[in-house]
């Protein structure tokens, strides 16, 4: 399938780009925020489009056209305030869902955050606005018509991936390399056992494909 990757220039996103570029099953259309990023992707052979999560659903739908699936791996970033968290991580995410529905990109994979579904787990969190945004974006996705999977990784690490994880509907705090998050996100695209399901994921002892099939 052709995958529309929102947040392609992010740290997880760049791993996803590499995996999709190397895939025999999928192709990629990378969404980025400016022409400089788009040009860099195009020079490496990646189809790229400039779009903004703060623009209209119609604009996002135009960018998404021609794709079968959407991966949302964008974020407002730690250097912005709660206003951008609201506009990007919540409203931007929901607009991307509406755009996907509009153009028939029915498969949708959300990169969320561990325990985002469990309010009690982040009542005193220093990133509470972000967790609130992810909580309600995930709920909107689950109530949509889209064939979704919500992947909720623990603390993100820049060390090399191991290809082994632990995943479940509820996990205690843990960490996981960004590379393994990307591998999981790409692996769920065709994994029917993850359709319309959500899970927490951290590093573990089980190969990603096996963990997904046994979830």
* Cα 79 versus chain centre, distance: 20
Q: What positions carry a catalytic annotation? A: 130
Distance CA 58, CA 152 (A): 28
Sign of CA dihedral 51, 53, 58, 64: positive
CB 104 within 8 A of CB 112: no
Distance CA 37, CA 182 (A): 20
φ, ψ for residue 12, nearest 5 deg? -75, -40
CB 75 within 8 A of CB 89: yes
Distance CA 123, CA 11 (A): 27
């Amino acid at each position: 399938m052709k995958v529309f990757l929102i947040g392609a220039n992010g740290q997880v996103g760049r791993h996803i780009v590499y995996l999709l570029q190397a895939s025999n099953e999928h192709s990629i259309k990378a969404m980025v925020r400016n022409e400089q990023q788009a040009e860099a992707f195009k020079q490496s052979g990646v189809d790229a489009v400039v779009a903004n999560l703060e623009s209209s659903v119609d604009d996002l739908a135009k960018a998404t056209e021609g794709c079968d699936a959407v991966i949302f791996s964008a974020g407002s970033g730690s250097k912005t305030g709660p206003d951008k968290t609201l506009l990007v991580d919540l409203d931007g995410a929901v607009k991307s869902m509406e755009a996907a529905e509009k153009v028939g990109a029915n498969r949708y994979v959300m990169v969320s955050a561990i325990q985002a579904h469990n309010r009690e787990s982040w009542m005193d969190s220093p990133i509470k606005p972000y967790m609130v945004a992810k909580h309600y974006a995930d709920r909107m996705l689950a109530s949509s018509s889209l064939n979704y999977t919500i992947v909720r990784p623990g603390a993100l690490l820049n060390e090399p991936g191991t290809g082994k994880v632990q995943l479940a509907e509820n996990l205690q705090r843990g960490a996981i390399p960004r590379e393994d998050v990307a591998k999981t996100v790409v692996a769920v695209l065709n994994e029917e056992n993850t359709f319309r399901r959500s899970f927490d994921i951290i590093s573990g002892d089980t190969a990603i494909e096996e963990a997904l099939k046994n979830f």
